[in-house]
């Protein structure tokens, strides 16, 4: 029994120290209290927020999607245009709140609407580098968006690619 306890302790200690997602070709700091959703892969990985209160049925989340870009160094604005045309087909009452082009072939889109019976607000950051498209999506209940963006916005900004 002593052997088993000694063996499990280091595994538990390692699991508690995760604070950066760093096993793929990108690095993303993990907000305190958030967890990596089971099944995380390089192309699709989600971080889940803790419940806001005991009866909370919507877990805010931060998702990283990696895909092939339509072409090498494809203009990110064209991809944002595509997204803005596609999203109304999957989000009821879709409305763009803010859209901005950023340096280094990046852009972001903040939008709102209803999905899965929740009124939500999203911030999607798009980054096309070489032949890859990276999309970071923060999904929140609309009533919680300002709180989350103030606290989690810096984690979106801290997303970096490995060389």
Go through the domains of the chain in sequence order and give each one's CATH number.
2-161 (3.40.1000.10)
- Which of 56 and 120 is assigned the larger pLDDT? 120
pLDDT for 28-37, tens place per residue? 999 999 999 9
Residue with tokens 């339509």: 70
**pLDDT above 90: residue 95:** yes
pLDDT for 109-142, tens place per residue? 999 999 999 999 999 999 999 999 999 999 999 9
- Which of 20 and 139 is assigned the larger pLDDT? 139
Calculate mean pLDDT across residues 86-107: 98
The pLDDT value given to residue 10: 37
CB half-sphere exposure, 101, CA atoms < 13 A: 9
């Amino acid at each position: 029994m002593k052997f088993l306890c000694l063996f499990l302790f280091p595994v538990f200690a390692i699991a508690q120290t995760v604070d950066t997602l760093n096993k793929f070709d990108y690095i993303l700091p993990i907000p305190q209290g958030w967890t990596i959703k089971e099944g995380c892969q390089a192309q699709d990985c989600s971080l889940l927020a803790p419940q806001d209160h005991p009866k909370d049925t919507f877990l805010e989340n931060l998702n990283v999607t990696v895909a092939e870009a339509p072409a090498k160094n494809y203009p990110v604005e064209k991809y944002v245009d595509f997204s803005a045309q596609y999203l109304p087909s999957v989000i009821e009452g879709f409305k763009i709140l803010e859209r901005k082009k950023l340096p280094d072939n990046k852009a972001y889109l903040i939008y709102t609407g209803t999905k899965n019976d929740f009124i939500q607000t999203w911030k999607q950051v798009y980054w096309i580098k070489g032949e890859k498209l990276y999309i970071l999506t923060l999904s929140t209940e609309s009533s919680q968006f300002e709180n989350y963006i103030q606290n989690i916005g810096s984690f979106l900004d801290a997303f970096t690619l490995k060389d």
